[in-house]
Amino acid sequence: MQLKFYLLFFLTSSFSFGQISFEAGYIIKKSGEREACLIKNQGLIKNPKTIQYKLTDTSDVLEADINSINGFQIGNDVKYVRAQIEVDQSSQKTANYTYSAEPNFKTEVAFIKQLIDGKASLYSYYDNGLRLFFYKLGDGDILQLVFKKYYFNNNFTIKENTAYKKVLFDELKCSELNLDVIRNTDYKEDDLVSLFILYNECVNSDYITFEKPKTKPKFNLRAKVGVGFTGMEINSRLSGSEDPLSVSTLDNNVTLRLGAELEYVFSFNRHKWAVFVEPTFISYSSNAATDDDRPNLITTSTDVVDVDYKAIELPIGIRHYFYLGDDNDSKLFVNVFFVITSDLSDNVDYGSDPNATSLDTPFSSGESLGLGVGYEFKNKLSIETRAYTARDVTSKSRVIESPLSMVAITLGYQFL
């Protein structure tokens, strides 16, 4: 239990105190003046409430919020502006649709993401599960493009309020934006960005797009080889009793590990999060004598215990990367994972004596948890240290408990 606590504490600490990436940008002061600075790039998904920034590489970290600045920009592809907007609070979850087509507006002051800056500007808003889009013409107000799904006639028929299409048709007058183009524009970022670009080009307006390069999820395949530092105890007890009759402590041995890892890297948050599965062959062989002279359940005429344990581990886990440079090809990572085991060996051998043979216990490995910390170089070579919580390899026995503990070091080579 203590090991599990330490693993979870270490994992939480690692995520909390990971590297901070500050990138060149600027803040827009309340006066409208721009101030160059370095802004923490958090890979924002939701609209931010605050930002952290530094005036120079060596200066202290400062914080700004919606009340202290009018906006900020990171590089050339992330820009947020402060705006007072009317936000439709209607849920976008099917179970919570209302029976009204009308939006439920609430006034908010928020940082909203600018997607297009031109004669016709486009913005996005994401918070509390709501993904909405807003527009502005010239120096006018920032208004919501309304799209809402709702139930009709109390019979759970779903209809759509597509008022945004009428607004686009009425406001974006251009020879190339005919009714068919508007009808085929879905309430999605890609469709709306394309439409606003088309309009600005049609009316010969200069415009800027603020779009991060589209990232896609990735699959990685690695060959893994390593060594495990493995030990085991075998405790016998009367059925229903917590007190052991005998304890056999087997030697800690260095064992070989062979496996392969399939990793899925998510596209969000700059490819910092991944899930993985890693089937691995492990083996462990040792023997020991019981250290108690009292009558026990393990032996009758022999006190030697032999273990020849082979299994396929299946760690399934979550990984987080910490980039060490701007090129993102060298990084630290930390994993937490759950291990399912398939036993390949028959049983624990309690000697060749006929009376002892009947006490042989089949392997039936239980599950365990683990934590790994590692380093990857040039997106090819990796080294990792892992610690596992003890798992009982005779978990189905009522009289034998065999906790196996392990620390492993593995090397990896990425093929894909």
Question: Between vectors from CA 171 to CA 167 and to CA 172, what angle results, nearest 5°?
Answer: 110
| pTM, entire model | 0.59
Query: Is there a contact between 340 and 280 (Cβ–Cβ < 8 Å)?
Result: no
Please tell me the predicted confidence (pLDDT) of residue 117.
94
| Nearest 10 degrees: Cα torsion 88, 90, 93, 99 | -140
Query: Is there a contact between 169 and 145 (Cβ–Cβ < 8 Å)?
Result: no
| Start-end of H helices in 304-380 | 354-357
The tokens describing 35, both together, are: 């101030």
What backbone torsions phi and psi does residue 89 show, to the nearest 5 degrees? Answer: -90, 0
Helix (H, G, I), strand (E, B) or coil at 392: strand
Cα 283 to Cα 373: distance, rounded to the nearest angstrom: 22
The tokens describing 143, both together, are: 């208004």
Query: Helix and strand tally (H, E) in the chain?
Result: 5, 27
Please give the CATH number for the structural domain made up of 218-414: 2.40.160.20
Cα 111 to Cα 70: distance, rounded to the nearest angstrom: 8
What backbone torsions phi and psi does residue 7 show, to the nearest 5 degrees? Answer: -65, -45
**What is the sign of the dihedral through the CA atoms of 353, 356, 358 and 361?**
negative
Cα 201 to Cα 236: distance, rounded to the nearest angstrom: 81
| Start-end of H helices in 320-380 | 354-357
Please tell me the predicted confidence (pLDDT) of residue 163.
95
Cα 378 to Cα 325: distance, rounded to the nearest angstrom: 11
Per-residue pLDDT of the chain (416 residues; tens, 9 = 90+): 444 544 444 444 444 444 447 889 999 999 989 999 999 877 666 788 899 999 988 889 999 999 999 999 988 888 999 999 999 999 888 888 888 999 999 999 999 999 999 999 999 999 877 899 999 999 999 999 999 999 987 767 899 999 999 999 999 998 888 889 999 999 999 999 999 999 999 999 999 998 665 668 889 999 999 999 988 877 766 555 555 555 667 777 888 899 999 999 988 777 889 999 999 998 888 777 655 544 444 444 445 777 788 889 999 999 999 888 655 678 999 999 999 988 887 666 655 444 444 455 677 777 889 999 999 998 899 999 999 998 887 777 766 777 888 899 999 999 88
Question: Between vectors from CA 333 to CA 331 and to CA 336, what angle results, nearest 5°?
Answer: 170
Contacts of 389 (CB under 8 A, 6+ apart): 3, 4, 7, 368, 369, 370
The tokens describing 287, both together, are: 């023997």
Please tell me the predicted confidence (pLDDT) of residue 103.
92
What backbone torsions phi and psi does residue 296 show, to the nearest 5 degrees? Answer: -145, 180
Please tell me the predicted confidence (pLDDT) of residue 307.
78
Query: Is there a contact between 145 and 188 (Cβ–Cβ < 8 Å)?
Result: no
Whole-angstrom Cα Rg for the chain: 31
Cα 73 to Cα 36: distance, rounded to the nearest angstrom: 10
Query: Is there a contact between 276 and 262 (Cβ–Cβ < 8 Å)?
Result: yes
Please tell me the predicted confidence (pLDDT) of residue 207.
93
- Which H helix or E strand runs over 195? helix 189-202
* Ranges of each domain in the chain: 20-75, 85-213, 218-414
